[in-house]
Amino acid sequence: MSNFKFTLPFTTTKPTAAKAVAITPIKKKDFDGWLKKQDKALQTLAENSGFKPGGKSALIVRNDKGGMSSIYILVGDTLGIYDVPGALCEIKGQLSQEFIDKHVFTLSTSKLSKNDIENALIGWAMAGYQFDRYKASTSKPAILHWPDKAGKKRVEAFAQSLYLVRELINIPAMDFGPAELEAAARDVAKTFTAKVSVIADEKLLEKNFPVIHAVGDAAGKTRRPRLIKISWGNAKHPKLTLVGKGVCYDTGGLNLKPGQYMRNMKKDMGGAAHALSLGRLIMALKLPVNLNILIPAVENAVGGDAFRPGDILKSRKGLFIENTNTDAEGRLVLADSLTYACERKPELVIDFATLTGSARAALGEDVAPFFSTDEKTAKTLQDIAANNDDPLWNMPLHQDYVRLIKNSASDLINSAAPPGDLIYSALFLQQFMSAQPEWLHLDIFAWESNGRPGRAKGGKDTGLRSLFALLESRYG
């Protein structure tokens, strides 16, 4: 499970005329003008097919012998990352798999901006992603010839990182515990000659990461808890630290989750997948930052060594935490990690975590809430996300609620009664941040429940592209 270099659905070999299928994008604002210039037969075909803004997004035109002539697709005035997958889904619905296997698609880019081309190609890659490690046979994705104007390095960097986050989340926990997450981190780091260090098992206690150790201690001999660190970049560049919750499976501990909520808990390391994948993108595109990635990797299991409701744990920061719910373990492993992140005095700390059900109750599955200690950064990120097909919503660090996580028996409790756990958990994490670094916290779902074009059912990138756009605007 340590090979995370993916084959993307592109080719640099130019197809012969017989094997090439041309796709021409038309922006919705240009549709009426385009249609008027077409002959009567094509106008009638478009009308009869429902090919128009708000209708069908793909039109297949055949010649008088019934063969393929051309394909037109409708895209947004600013081409979004999911425009091409939507049209491609319609195209594939009208073509046989045999046809797709034998042909190569080409994309007309003459009317597209550089950003449009980039989004079109990333979208094509997303449409081609399949989680097929456990399938005896799979269908071949549609292959696209690289357009001449394509920024190949940038598109590949995004596609590889977005595939990575999905793949890591999708692998079942039986094959992906803390050790396998470490192997994945090493695989990514090796690609960019980044340094990896790991503090595991009893060493966590020796090095003063007691809460990470407590959460993962019951998982058995082969699934020992660990803190994974990747370091990359020039020491003279601004310090950036990414932190990702790496709970490889979450039973809820002794406060066991109900079965319907435990079904997809292989995705509870979705925060780690996002931190690692965003880090991969930063390294691939050589963003000028001094990067650290921290992943507390554990399994929240039930056993004789499991931490209990009512236990009081001393954290790396020295704050005592009464555990009121063993199913609020993610914020515990992040507590030690965020304290450690602040010790090197970075400029910015970003953490990702599949943390609370109340985040989904508040904003649904697609929109991820985020918290920021800087109002200007929060506004910038929300504006970026609104225009990036990657929605995020700023939530308040309402300080009056801190009283709800205080406790007479200890400094803090890890879980106050809902509703409000979305904010309470963020405030809990903030107690482990020092005053210096700017901080962004994302409470993500990291899962596509039903499946849509470009968003296969299963692991999903959430906020990753918006965060990279923020970092690129800040450091690029």
Active site residues: 257, 331
Looking only at the bridges linking them, the beta strands covering 320-322 and 412-413 are: parallel
CB 422 within 8 A of CB 359: yes
| Rounded distance between C-alpha atoms, residue 3 and residue 229, angstroms | 19
| Rounded distance between C-alpha atoms, residue 45 and residue 42, angstroms | 5
Query: What residues are paired with 84 via a beta bridge?
Result: none
| Rounded distance between C-alpha atoms, residue 119 and residue 81, angstroms | 5
Query: Measuring CA to CA, how many Å separate 136 from each of 99, 132, 381?
Result: 22, 8, 42
CB 331 within 8 A of CB 226: no
Angle formed by the axes of helices 270-284 and 464-475, nearest 10°: 40
| Rounded distance between C-alpha atoms, residue 363 and residue 383, angstroms | 17
Nearest to 62 by CA among 53, 71, 75, 49: 71
- Cα 273 to the chain's mean position, in Å? 7
Q: Which residue intervals of 297-432 are DSSP H helices?
A: 330-343, 357-363, 375-386, 421-430
Query: Measuring CA to CA, how many Å separate 322 from each of 319, 412, 432?
Result: 10, 6, 15
Query: What residues are paired with 267 via a beta bridge?
Result: none
Question: Quick check: helix, strand or coil at residue 242?
Answer: strand
| Rounded distance between C-alpha atoms, residue 332 and residue 48, angstroms | 59
Q: Is the peptide bond before 396 cis (omega within 30 degrees of 0)?
A: no
Query: Measuring CA to CA, how many Å separate 317 from each of 240, 332, 347, 465?
Result: 20, 12, 19, 32
| Rounded distance between C-alpha atoms, residue 378 and residue 426, angstroms | 15
| Rounded distance between C-alpha atoms, residue 389 and residue 373, angstroms | 24
What DSSP state is assigned to residue 143?
P
First to last CA, the chain: 33
Radius of gyration of the chain (CA): 24
